[in-house]
Chain A
Amino acid sequence: MSKTSRTVITMPAQAKQGSIIEIRAIAQHDMESGFRYSEAGKVIPRDIIRTFSCTYNNVPVFSADFYPGIGANPLLIFTTIATETATLEFKWVGDDGYEAINQAHITVT
């Protein structure tokens, strides 16, 4: 079973070459820790995002591992250097076949 969810990327559409750009990546996800119990007393199985990665024109520039202690709808804010006009790809992979992909384009002058 594969699942996905909404993601939002916020970053500048244009930048000067060599400048530092801020990227915000937020994903809609419950991040169920696996430590909680339902009202019936059963453990709610863990269902979290495991990894996040960002590639800039297919070159990895940022990645992160997620753990059960991370809250719902995780937001990542990170920076990179605007090197060239290209597409950035963002990918979240998680439990139970979860996968979400988003893209953003940047024009570097």
Chain B
Amino acid sequence: MKLLTFSLWLVSISAGFFTNALANEAALDSRQSSYTLMTAENKAMQDDASLNPALFWVMDGQGLWQEKSGQKAIACASCHGDAGTKMRGVATQFPKIIKGKLQTLESQINQCRVEKQQAPELAYESKTLLALTVFVASQSKGMPIAIEETQQNQKDLQQGRQFFNERMGQLNLSCAQCHQDRAGLKLGGSMIPQGHPTAYPIYRIEWQSLGSLQRRLRNCMSGVRARQFEYGSPEMAQLELFLMWRARGMTLETPGVRP
């Protein structure tokens, strides 16, 4: 009798996991930014402009936006004008298909540099690329993420979803196993977040620096002993697209602070 109750209990637990996993993808309202998991001090660091170190990069980006660069000697502002009005809402739509290619905000900035300014590409995670990215992205602060499934991005989105659900690495884990099925539980001492990219580029205290979503994704990939996707690779863009689609409607917090 005792054995029977125990196995029944096991069945109900695993059934619980299963329905949870399904429900999480469907129930958009239960989504939360990992901002809500932070301590009051870290929340204050993000919210208070006099405490948020990411603002240094935003200021640098503002300078770079006006700075003439490349053989054409034109600045971002020469074409795009005032970032405050022209760039508002732009970051909520990336990654985006532009001229048939899926571009992240970073790769689009580089695309602009090479094609329009005729300047060399900026390296991923370089201070200049992070500064420009965070400057552009922070213009959309407070706006809802606006990625929708379209005919054009359907294939990439599907591929991104597959990466999210596919087991990888020596630990043989998928993104979904932690950040969807077990979000809210603990890994070591810390809460597993739902993994919504609502604040990138973020100032991560652990990094002591600003970093991109791709850096964060590579973190997890090395954590599960997987071969990391390359910076700026199509795989990265597809995974980023899926994550942003998964977070659609959530508020963009850039520039965010995370522990």
- When distances are taken between beta carbons in the complex, the residues of chain A under 8 Å from B55 are 8
- Interface assignment of A80: CB less than 8 Å from any CB of chain B: no
Partner of B208 from the list A5, A26, A31, A75 (CB cut-off 8 Å) is: A31
**Of A10, A24, A72, which one neighbours B53 at CB under 8 angstroms?**
A72
A96 at the B interface (CB under 8 A): no
Chain A interface (Cβ < 8 Å from any Cβ of B): 5-6, 8, 10, 24, 26, 28, 30-31, 71-73, 75
- Picked from B56, B59, B60, the residue with its CB within 8 Å of the CB of A73 is B56
Determine whether the beta carbon of A6 is less than 8 Å from that of B56: yes
Q: Please, what's the 1-or-0 string for B44-71, where 1 marks a CB less than 8 Å from any CB in chain A?
A: 0000001101011001100000000000
Interface centre among B50, B60, B209 (most CB of A within 10 A): B50
A77 to chain B: closest CB distance in Å? 9
Q: Are B208 and A8 in contact (CB under 8 A)?
A: no
Q: Which residues of A contact B205 (CB under 8 A)?
A: 71
Contact of A72 among B50, B51, B60, B209 (CB under 8 A): B209
Using known A-B contacts A8-B50, A10-B50, A24-B50, determine if residue A72 contacts B56 with beta carbons closer than 8 Å. no
Which of A71, A72, A73, A75 lies at the interface centre, i.e. has the most chain B CB atoms within 10 A of its CB? A73
In the complex, are the beta carbons of A72 and B208 less than 8 A apart?
yes
Residues in B neighbouring A31, C-beta threshold 8 A: 208
Q: Cβ of A71 and Cβ of B51 under 8 Å apart?
A: no
Interface size classification for chain B: 10 to 19
Question: Hey, which chain A residues are within 8 Å of B208, CB to CB?
Answer: 30-31, 71-73
Do B51 and A28 touch across chains, with their CB atoms under 8 A apart? no
Find chain A residues with CB under 8 A from B60 CB.
6
Question: Shortest Cβ distance from B194 into chain A, in angstroms?
Answer: 27
Q: When the two chains form the complex, which single residue of A5, A6, A24, A30 contacts B51, counting CB atoms closer than 8 Å?
A: A24
A-B contact count (CB 8 A): 28
A28 and B53 within 8 A (CB): yes
Q: Which residue of B lies closest to A29 (CB)?
A: B56
Which residues of chain A have C-beta atoms less than 8 A from B209's C-beta? 30, 72
Contacts of A5 in B (CB 8 A): 56
A28 adjacent to B56 (CB under 8 Å): yes
Asked if residues B53 and A6 are in contact (CB atoms below 8 Å), the reply is no
User: Residue on A with the closest CB to B63?
Assistant: A6
- Measured in the bound complex, the distance between the Cα atoms of B131 and A5 in whole Å is 14
In contact, A6 and B59 (Cβ under 8 angstroms)? yes
Q: List 23 A-B contacts (CB under 8 A).
A: A5-B56, A6-B56, A6-B59, A6-B60, A8-B50, A8-B55, A8-B56, A10-B50, A24-B50, A24-B51, A26-B50, A26-B51, A26-B53, A28-B53, A30-B208, A30-B209, A71-B205, A71-B208, A72-B53, A72-B209, A73-B53, A73-B56, A75-B51
| Cβ of B205 to closest chain A Cβ, rounded Å | 8
Nearest chain A residue, comparing its CB with the CB of B205: A71
Across the interface, name the chain B residue whose C-beta is closest to A31.
B208
- 4 closest A-B pairs by beta carbon, nearest first, are A10-B50, A72-B208, A73-B53, A28-B56
Q: Kindly list chain B residues whose C-beta atoms are within 8 Å of the C-beta of A72.
A: 53, 208-209
Residue of A nearest to B60 (CB): A6
B:198-230 near A, CB below 8 Å = 205, 208-209
Minimum C-beta distance from B61 to chain A (A): 12
| Most-contacted residue by chain B among A28, A31, A71 (CB, 10 A) | A28
